[in-house]
Amino acid sequence: MLKHIMRWTLGVSLLALATQSTVSATPTLTGRVTGYSPTSISVLDREIVTVTVDGRTAFTKWVTQKPWEQDTRLRASALRVGQLVAVHRRADDPGVASWVQIATDLPGAETVSRDAARPMNVATLARNQEASGDLLSPSEVVALIANARTSTDHLKLSKHYAAVAARYDDDAAAHAAEARAYRARGNPSETKRPGTPGTAAHCDRLSALAKDSATAARAISREHEAVASIAR
């Protein structure tokens, strides 16, 4: 049983690491702005990725609604947390943005943040803060999976995967809130470009994926908890 769990969890962890590497290497990041500064922008694609912006980085409107033929000139000062953006990275230096498209005509930070925050009460916030302290780095997870022998080792992994599940729960709720916001406002992209970023269907898909990931993480957490109960 222990060997089976070790192989399974190692495979899941290595897959997660490979996914992170793939996301980091993707030429274009598409997602919501989680933070920005005069020299950087952070975007939640499948994970939060931060890239550098400099004097050569261009900023334009990402036109998602009529009128389609409109002035797309924009400045970096138009950036807001919560906005949908497409960050095109330089081919010779993926750590730097060459062009940033900002969807200024879609629900942004205020609409989405208020909706997403509704179900988050004080108890939930406290649980999430506590769970964050149990998260391990990818290298720590792989090392523990490869060498876990004691009850303490498996309890660490159990708590880590429980915290990962909590993170995915938050992601699922946030994406579901964005989908509700898009449906409430109406969006031509739903029929013209169904399923693309900036549509309720896209947010629904991300929410479903996050829920599935949370379920898988909880299963791994329970397995490690079971092993911890019989290990020394």
- Given a cut of 60, is residue 32 above it in pLDDT? yes
Confidence of residue 87 (pLDDT cuts 50, 70, 90): very high
Does the domain made of 26-105 have the CATH classification 2.40.50.320? yes
Sheet of 84-89: strands edge to edge?
48-52, 40-44, 28-37, 84-89, 97-102, 58-61
The predicted model scores a pTM of 0.51
Per-domain residue ranges for the chain? 2-22+110-230, 26-105
Top-confidence residue, 218 or 49: 218
Task: Evaluate the CA torsion angle 72, 73, 76, 77 in order and state its sign.
Answer: negative
Residue 157 CB burial class (10 angstroms; 0-12, 13-18, ≥19):
buried
What beta strand segments (E) does the chain contain? 28-37, 40-44, 48-52, 58-61, 84-89, 97-102
Confidence of residue 157 (pLDDT cuts 50, 70, 90): very high
90-126 confidence digits (pLDDT tens):
888 888 999 999 988 775 543 333 333 333 344 444 4
Residue type present at position 42 = S
